[in-house]
Structure 1
């Protein structure tokens, strides 16, 4: 559900409810407009009765105009009910539409390729969800207000035609002039609001950096001050300054819009009454009608600002969607009896923040029941290669295959279901996600004990009791999740880096051996040369290429597991 116009938020999520809300808004506006001639008719009806009712005691429902009084009360109650229903329905539809659009956005983000998601970044997604979508909802919620007020204005202008066509022409011209001159400063205000939105997006990125980079900032006071002033305070000041300018211009325009009807009344009172030789009764009816226009015209003008801001947000959301390319998918399956993973002449390149980087000319073979270590210096391409092997990055040239079955768009999703990975930035979900297989509580508890997490983490009906753990403990819990998934290919990116020596021994000597014994393909990114003996093959990376592939020694005892 992509948005191109503000009204798309309604039309594409609940068109029937939207149509009903619009019809109710039009009926409400018509009822509002009908009050003016009704009031004037009541005044004209009561005027000849003044001498007849002198000295009598009357109440609201006991008077010469008691029938009109009853109908007036019914009209007012009807307007209250219909307007409340229209506004409530509009609010419900807008909130439902925003929720639906959020879900659509979640799905689009979920279907992005890993490379595109890394390029877009968390801050932009957060800004769309927390800034733009609420602004769109607010703008869309103001559309029925504009419809009600516009119908009221049209109805009142129709009444003016019946009173005096010349006055109607003048009032219409003045309203058009006020509306036009009102829009000019509003357009200028929108320019400042666009700058505010850009500053908010930059600020979102800085807030993410503030939290994720807190440890580094605490160790360097000058860098912390530089970050505070240039990445936080400057963006806040820019947003504040532009918002103040935009708000000031918008408030000035709104005040001008509010007085527009009174300027027209002044023109009628002090010039047109003489020019057109208007009688007292006719002048009174015209003044009442123009005064009545003050409320709806003001509502239109104030709502227009929210609508314009919503249109800006729609533009940003549309631009964001234009950058989202769906990752190719299909329903072709991977054969169940495959024995090895082949990498043939793999080449992958991307453009980072600082420079281009590529992994190239990689040809490797990984067998079931084999432990492979990928080693090399920083920037050698180990992690990039691991993301290619996990199928998060698709090669720009070459192939990855399960036996002789190449991985391509049609079977990419099926191929990924054979792989589990614990990356260095692995995210622990707050609950234990289910993949369709029944949970083995006994096995989970055994793993918690084996990984010495049972004193910190308990198994609850929704998953784990906490993920608020040290880095080493979080990686152990991530390892537990990988073991529960029981996939054919297990990839570990520097898993043991945050573990104490004892747990490093357990990981390399026991856990890897257990996975090997169970026929898994095990791929480990590591710097721990003391444990290279536990690898069946040692792959050395340098400058994005495989420098060498060497065999290594036997592995040790297995991790205990439940029956």
Structure 2
């Protein structure tokens, strides 16, 4: 059971504490049953009109033990399961943090969001039922043992009936679990459809046919989900009715069958019937717990499966101690680097390379090329986010191995074309407020937002303004290499001119090595060198200072 595996992730022994508390709760409840039936029988025989104080005292003690053990069991188990959830959640996050970008891009985000957020919520909301189920099972066993002290035949028959019923109940439960998995798959498709609607809202609003087809597809998925959920409810209720019926059979077995084979039991029918009535709470509690636990177990299954799958995504060397690389490097070289994307059978894969590029410290290089020419792939190879299938990436003639990747990447501050603007400035321990204000003024953003407590005061801005903040964040990291992918594409004409004629030259003067992907050919004169990509091949174009055009 995945919930038990989840608890075993903790170094301490939560299951031991759970079992001890459950046993104490069950024994105290069984003792209450024995005391009540004994007191009632004694009153019936003696016709006493006064309370038997010793028995009453024992009754009170048993009730106190029950309340304390039950409360401690739920409280401790809730704390343990939350710690286990937090441990696994952080392990998943850490696995994602150390994942290989290429593998992660092809893994998909839907399962990650579902497992890290929704599954945790489901487990946390329903995990207490595992404690209830444990207590119910132990209580049922102790009550059966009590019945054995009264009638061995009743104990044997009731045990056989319960075992048979449990097997049938379990098989019905497997069918319910299958329905839950099908429902989870359908709801995942619904989530993707809603994401398509929100992410592609403009496109569907401009095309009535697109919008209509999207609505029809959502309607079909929604209808299928309704059918799957209805089937789940039907099978869950069918399982519950079966359990209730078995309880009725237990009473009938004791009252109508047992006396036929053991006439002496007739005098003890009240005790046995009372014991069976005491079993109502644990049996129905167990039925309720198992039905609810299926959702928590399925959620735990998803988290544990995801944890195992993410191991395969881990980037080699991501946990090793990184070798240091000095910031005052002389050159970065891409030597015969090649990279290709997998393709469908019969299709020609897109490949980039061989790339032979040398970048000197302090240079400003523009990278140009049409859509699909390989510019973004070139940037990912240069930054070490993609691993080449052939060739070497070196810095000062030293090959950047897997143990050096973290140190190499630490030299780079990027603003990608599909950048994400973090509201909080992670990784910057102390921010020089004057420097931050100067950068915001330089980007003409000081009147719009600010930086307080390592956070941007406001980020719900236009794409161009958010790019300016992303550049501010990159510059505050004070790294020697700046990577800009289509940074000026979302700026107005005035600020675009300022970017090429003022910002970039000043950053170069400060000693930064700049690699910028751009289409703005009117500003090519600002670059030291221009690299052009076309169908995965790279050439160096003419600049004002250099008069050559060659394959590199």
**TM norm structure 2:** 0.93
Measured after TM superposition, the shift of residue 554 of structure 1 is: 6.6
| Separation (CA, whole Å) in 1 of partners of 2:264 and 2:215 | 68
Q: How far does the alpha carbon of each residue in 1:57-78 deviate from its partner, in whole angstroms, 9 at most, with x for none?
A: xxxxxx2412212221221132
Cα distance, 1:111 vs. partner? Answer: 0.9
Q: Report which stretch shifted further, 149-158 or 297-306.
A: 297-306
Match of 2:394 in 1: 401
Aligned pairs for 1:538-557 (under 5 A) are 538-546=530-538, 548-553=539-544
Residues of 2 paired with 1:237 and 1:352: CA distance? Answer: 35
- Aligned equivalent of 1:341, options 332, 352, 355: 332
1:429 pairs with 422, 426, 451, which one? 422
Aligned to 2:549: none
Residue 505 (structure 1) aligned with residue 497 (structure 2) = yes
Q: Structure 2: 5+ residue runs without aligned partners?
A: 547-552
Shift, 1:175, TM fit: 0.7
State the 1:296 CA deviation: 1.0
Residues 55-102 of structure 1: CA distance to partner in whole angstroms, max 9, x if unpaired? xxxxxxxx2412212221221132122101111111121122212222
Aligned to 1:417: 410
Match among 16, 34, 52 for residue 37 of structure 1: 34
RMSD over aligned CA atoms reads 2.1
Question: Paired residue for 1:270?
Answer: 256
Residue 17 of structure 2 corresponds to residue 20 of structure 1: yes
Contact 2:151 2:265 in 1 (8 A): no
Tell me the SS of whatever aligns to 2:19.
helix
Match of 1:238 among 221, 224, 238: 224
Structure 1 residue 181: Cα displacement = 1.6
Q: Which shows bigger deviation, 451-460 or 312-321?
A: 312-321
Question: 1:11 deviation in Å?
Answer: 2.1
Shift of 1:173: 0.9
Residue 560 of structure 1: aligned partner: none
Distance in 2 between residues matched to 1:463 and 1:376, nearest whole Å: 36
* Cα pair 1:145 1:299 within 8 Å, conserved: yes
Per the TM alignment, residue 369 of structure 1 is displaced from its structure 2 partner at its CA by 1.9
Query: Matched residue of 1:271: which SS?
Result: helix
Q: Which residue of 1 aligns with 2:431?
A: 439
Secondary structure at the counterpart of residue 540 of structure 1: strand
The yes-or-no answer on 1:146 pairing with 2:146 is no
SS of aligned partner of 1:255: helix
Tell whether the 8 Å contact from 2:488 to 2:496 is kept in structure 1 after alignment: yes
Q: Within the alignment, does 1:182 sit opposite 2:179 as a pair?
A: no
String of CA shifts for 1:27-80, please: whole Å, max 9, x gaps.
Answer: 111212222222221122222321x53xxxxxxxxx241221222122113212
Q: Counterpart of 2:364 in 1: which secondary structure?
A: strand
Match of 1:205 in 2: 192
Which deviations, in whole Å up to 9, do the C-alpha atoms of 1:349-401 show, x marking residues without a partner?
23379984321201111112211111111111011111111111121211111
Are the equivalent residues in 1 in contact too, given 2:6–2:300 (CA < 8 A)? no
Could you tell me the TM-score, scaled by structure 1's length?
A: 0.91
Counterpart Cα distance in 2 of 1:357 and 1:22: 59
Q: SS at the partner of 1:344? A: strand
The CA deviation string for residues 494-520 of structure 1, in whole angstroms up to 9 with x for no partner, is: 111111111111111111111221222
What residue number does 1:57 align with? none
Q: Which of 49, 56, 60 lines up with 2:46 in the alignment?
A: 49
Check 1:17–1:320 CA distance in 2 against 1; reply closer, same or farther (3 A cut): closer
Q: Give matches, 1:77-476, under 5 Å.
A: 77-137=64-124, 140-230=127-217, 232-324=218-310, 325-329=313-317, 330=320, 331-351=322-342, 356-436=349-429, 438-476=430-468
Residues paired across the two proteins, number: 539
What are the ranges of 5 or more consecutive residues in structure 1 without an aligned counterpart? 54-62, 556-563
Other structure's SS at 2:2 match? coil
The DSSP-based 3-state class of the residue aligned with 2:339 is: strand
Provide the rounded CA distance (Å) in 2 between the counterparts of 1:478 and 1:277: 87
Q: Residue 123 of structure 1: CA displacement?
A: 1.7
In the other structure, the counterpart of 1:522 is 514
Cα distance in 2 for partners of 1:545, 1:136 equals 51
